[in-house]
Amino acid sequence: MTGWNARQKDAKRGGALRPAFFLFGPALLAACLGAAPGCKDGASAADTGSASSAAASAEPRDVSLPGVDTSAMTPRERHEFTSLVTSLFAPCPSVPVSVATCVLEKRACGTCSQAAKYIAHAVRAGAAESDITRAYKDRYDPSGVKALPLSGSPSRGPDDAPVTIVEFADFECPHCRAAVPMVDAVTQLHPDKVRLVYKFVVLSMHVHAEAAARAAWAAGQQGKFWEMEHLLFERQEHLEQADLERYAQMLKLDVARWRADMGSQAAKDRLADDRKLEDDLRLAGTPTLYVNGRELDVEADESLEERVTAELGVAPATAPSAAPSAAPMLAPAASASARPR
C-alpha cells in the first residue's frame, strides 16, 4: 500500500530498512455542509437568517465514543473522525452498522472499539482521507485475509485453535530474537486458543541462516524443533556447523539421523516452499507475523496480544513486547534474486 501508511513506515525505519509488520484506515466530512443554493432572488434578511439557523441546526454533531480519546484533536480532526466512524462499517461482517453505532450500542463485535481507536490515531497523524479508508479496509475487510499454507511447517498449539499466528523469521536476525519473548508470552497466555506456525526466512546477508534453518527443521523431525529454535536464537552469535552439532547433542537427538535430515532434499524443499510463499507475499523483512491471515505491524500501536485478544473477543492481558532497542528497525528482506538458492 502506498500513501500515508507507507510514508509513515518509511520515516520510522529509514530507506535501507524494512519498508513494510500497521495499517490505518478514512473519509473526510462531507463538504458544503449547510451550503445555500446559488440563487437568492428576493430573499429577505430574515429569510437568510432563518435559512442559516436551519443549516446550523442540521449540522451533525461530533460523536464522542467511550474509550476513544479525541481531546487532543482540532475541530477539523473531530469532524473528520466523526465522518469516518459514522461511515465506515464495523469490522465484524455479522454487525452491519457503522463503527460509531457498534461502539455506542455495544454490539457483539469485539474489535469495534479498537477499530475506532485505529481511525482516531490515523486522523490525529494527519492521514489523508483516501489513505485511511484504504488502510482501514486492509486491516478489517474480510477480503484482505491471506490463505497461508500451513501443512509441513513446524507448529505448536491446537490445529483447530481460533487464532493462528504465522511467524516468518531468520535465525540470524536480531529483531527476530528480540521478538521471541513476546511471541512466547502470547502463546502461553492463550495455550488452548492459539496455534503458532513457523516459516523459515533466509536473508542474503546472513551467511549462517540457511544452515541454522535446516538444523532446526531436522531437529523437528525428532520432535525438538521449538527447543532447537530457542537455542539458535539464544546463541545467535554461534551458528557454525560445530555449534549446530553441539546443540543437537544438547537436545539428545540422534545426531547421525539429525545430520542426514539436515542435508536432505526434504529440508531444502521446506525452505524453498517457504521462500516461494515469502516472494508471493512480497515479504519486506523479518520478523513478520500474520494473525488469522492478516499481517501485524509490530512497530505500530497494536501489540500482538491486542490483535490476538481482538480475534478472540476478550480483553488483552499484559504480555511483554519485543525489546525496545529492536523495535524501531526490522531486518530488510532480500529480493528473490539475492537470496541463496
The ranges assigned to domains in the chain are 4-29+65-144, 155-332
The percent of residues in the chain predicted with pLDDT above 90, rounded, is 55
CATH architecture group of domain 155-332: 3-Layer(aba) Sandwich (3.40)
Grid cell digits, residue 319: 504480555
Please give the helix or strand (H or E) that residue 155 lies within, else none: strand 155-156
| Mean pLDDT of all residues in 218-245 | 98
Rg of the Cα atoms in the chain: 25
What's residue 130's pLDDT? Answer: 81
At a CB cut-off of 8 Å and minimum separation 6, what does 194 contact?
A: 157, 161, 163, 164, 165, 186, 187, 308
The C-alpha atoms of residue 57 and residue 284 are separated, in whole angstroms, by 50
Backbone phi and psi for residue 237, each to the nearest 5 degrees, phi listed first: -80, -5
Q: How confident is the model at residue 331 (pLDDT cuts 50, 70, 90)?
A: low
Q: How confident is the model at residue 15 (pLDDT cuts 50, 70, 90)?
A: very low
| Mean pLDDT of all residues in 68-89 | 93
| Mean pLDDT of all residues in 196-216 | 97
pTM for the full model? 0.69
Direct distance between the N- and C-terminal alpha carbons of the chain, in angstroms, rounded to an integer = 29
Torsion angle of the four alpha carbons 14, 1, 288, 214, in this order, in degrees rounded to the nearest 10:
-100
The C-alpha atoms of residue 197 and residue 183 are separated, in whole angstroms, by 11
Place of cell 536432505: 264
Query: Nearest Cα to 85, choosing from 73, 103, 67?
Result: 103
User: Taking 70 as the threshold, does the pLDDT of residue 224 lie above it?
Assistant: yes
106-139 pLDDT, tens digit per residue, is 998 878 888 898 899 889 989 887 889 888 887 8
Residues linked to residue 290 through DSSP beta bridges, in sequence order: 166, 295
The answer to whether the peptide bond before residue 91 is cis (omega within 30 degrees of 0) is: no
Q: What is the mean pLDDT of the chain?
A: 80
Sign, CA torsion 281/287/293/298 = negative
